[in-house]
Structure 1
Amino acid sequence: MTLAAFGAIHLDTLAHAERAILRDTSTPARLTTRPGGVAANVARALARLSPPCALAGAVGRDSDGDALLASLRAEGIDVSTVHRSDHPTGRYLALHDPDGGLAAAVVDGAITDALRPGDIDIAHPALAEADLWFIEANLPQPVLGQIAAAAKHRLLAADAVSIAKAPRLAEVLDRLDILFCNRLEGAALLGQRRAGGPAPAPEDALAIASALVALGVGACLVSDGPAPLALATAGICMSLAVAPVAVRDVTGAGDALIAGTLAARARGWDIADAARAGLAAARVTVQAQGAAPATLTWDAVLGEHAAAAPPTA
């Protein structure tokens, strides 16, 4: 099974502070720059776990765009359908505390927001010949609709990305075979998170997953930090334990969950075992630095998968 990812392609700058980050003052840190964006990070992780992946999105006609495409090609990703835009290449800046936690992040994603139907050539062989398509809610709603309508027989997976962007997927829910979201993104997609009202309680993750399946999603995976991962399909409603690990960097953990799950599905695993593989990929990732680290291999995922605790009831 071959795969293609559609969505954000950014240049990420990651700052890892030597001490806790404080407002209104500078903090000593180590800075690294590498490819990023949800779709790009999923494609990078898939390139380490599965057959080659194609990536579709947009980069600028600038030196950052040139560098991004060269780096992604070097990782074995097909970028032949990436749109070159007059907008500057997207940038993401993340500030991490010494424990690997994310203190703050900002993103300039105007280039992805500016994409229109037709900017991505979905008839291109690199995309048309893929058996599984992954989309994410950084894409504008008309582009999401165009891709979902063209998916036809393919497996179609999606990531909700954020509370603000999750509702962009509302019109394509019944076309999704797999949906990834966290608890608050799922609630936003359901319209459950009202302005000024309380956020859903942690135990609502399973209810949110089931409600999204009732709206037409084939399988829904709802994460909630260190709490169990909720998984629902028409015939399954279960929680998968999140095994504790020593966290070095949370960057790319969610992208690794997606990539591990999709890589396992591409190998014919059922959705429950595939979700466990996704959790294993996330554990491998957070123990290293940055998204899609060199330590993320299929053998490493299998090792973590075998060692993981069984699912909770």
Structure 2
Amino acid sequence: MTKPDILCIGSVLWDIIGRSPSAMRLGSDVPGRITRLPGGVAMNIAMTLARFGLQPAALTAIGRDAEGDELVAACQRMGVDTSFAYRSDDLPTDRYMAVEGANGLIAAVADAHSLETAGDRILRPLADGRLGSATAPWAGQVALDGNLTEALLSDIAASPLFAAADLRVAPASPGKAERLRPLLAHPGTTLYVNLEEANLLSRAGAATAAEAAEALLARGAQRVLVTDGGRPAAEGTQGKGVIIGKPPEVLVTRVTGAGDTFMAAHLVAERRGAPREAALQAALQAAATYVSGDVGT
């Protein structure tokens, strides 16, 4: 079996997205399109990495139901290895449902209960020798998403299985950002957050991405990237300060998955040897291309 280039740990599910070109508000009933595509933070990152030519493997929970079998087949077609995924006989395949209008995300519901229930069973390949063990831990890159439970994320922060890992962490949503606080102390962690998520983690009330990055570094984070929609983004590293990048101006046609695309593109740029400024700009360009609809999901 070919060793994966990177592990993507977290949610792999069906994204059910309703999009309308109209601006929407509470109670709106408008024409649009409804799609069902493989999604979830870990999957969105993995799909982008595969498009860049890497071989990602997903550590997640997928049911042995019909939706799960369809999802595994779709992952394979997109170049994402699910052979290490935990397949459950009694847990259904997770789903995410969102409604987007011309004015952005209106509402979303993430049903990732199977992933949360599976708990550390999704990490077995890192302990049983298939991908690593406590004495010979995985030493490569790991994209980790905040859909895992707070208890499991705390365990990961202290686990010998992740002691040598290059952890790239995304919170999944502002409501789950504070789950990531234990990972601030992990020396190999790079956090990818938006301004709202950064403020929840730092409790600083920063007005800009640069201020938020400074606040997170002050709270002990080793490295952070903070985005703020179409406004300047920032990357901060302990001992090296904070740099800023400006996103390209584009017409926004979708938003779900933009942060995951940003994270994956940044990771790929760094694997190719790009310096800090160039890696940040490459990630901003990839996210802008994605939200403009110029790249397929």
Residue aligning to 1:172: 183
**Residues 54/119 of structure 1: CA separation in 2 closer, same or farther (3 Å cut):** closer
**Structure 2 spans left out of the alignment, 5+ residues:** none
**Residues 130/56 of structure 1: CA separation in 2 closer, same or farther (3 Å cut):** farther
Find the partner of 1:113 among 89, 113, 116: 116
Asked whether the 8 Å contact 2:138–2:162 carries over to 1, the reply is no
**Residues 147/81 of structure 1: CA separation in 2 closer, same or farther (3 Å cut):** farther
Distance (whole Å) between structure 1 residues aligned to residue 58 and residue 180 of structure 2 = 20
**Residues 211/201 of structure 1: CA separation in 2 closer, same or farther (3 Å cut):** closer
Residue aligning to 1:2: 5
Find the partner of 2:266 among 261, 265, 271: 261
Residue aligning to 1:88: 92
Find the partner of 2:201 among 189, 194, 199: 189
Residue aligning to 1:215: 219
**Structure 1 spans left out of the alignment, 5+ residues:** 193-199, 295-313
Residue aligning to 1:51: 54
Asked whether the 8 Å contact 1:138–1:165 carries over to 2, the reply is yes
TM-score, L = length of structure 2: 0.87
Runs ≥4 residues deviating over 4 A? 126-130
Once the two structures are superposed, the pairs formed by residues 225-236 of structure 1 within 5 Å of their partners are 225-234=229-238, 235-236=240-241
Q: Secondary structure at the match of 2:274?
A: coil
Once the two structures are superposed, the pairs formed by residues 242-261 of structure 1 within 5 Å of their partners are 242-261=247-266
Asked whether the 8 Å contact 1:2–1:130 carries over to 2, the reply is no
Deviation string for 1:272-308 (max 9, x for gaps)? Answer: 322221111101211217xx726xxxxxxxxxxxxxx
Asked whether the 8 Å contact 1:62–1:88 carries over to 2, the reply is yes
Q: Secondary structure at the match of 1:54?
A: strand
Find the partner of 2:285 among 275, 280, 283: 280
Residue aligning to 2:144: 135
**Residues 156/25 of structure 1: CA separation in 2 closer, same or farther (3 Å cut):** closer
Asked whether the 8 Å contact 2:20–2:100 carries over to 1, the reply is yes
* Alignment: residue pair count: 283
Residue aligning to 2:167: 156
TM-score, L = length of structure 1: 0.83
CA RMSD of aligned residues (A): 2.2
Distance (whole Å) between structure 1 residues aligned to residue 273 and residue 46 of structure 2 = 19
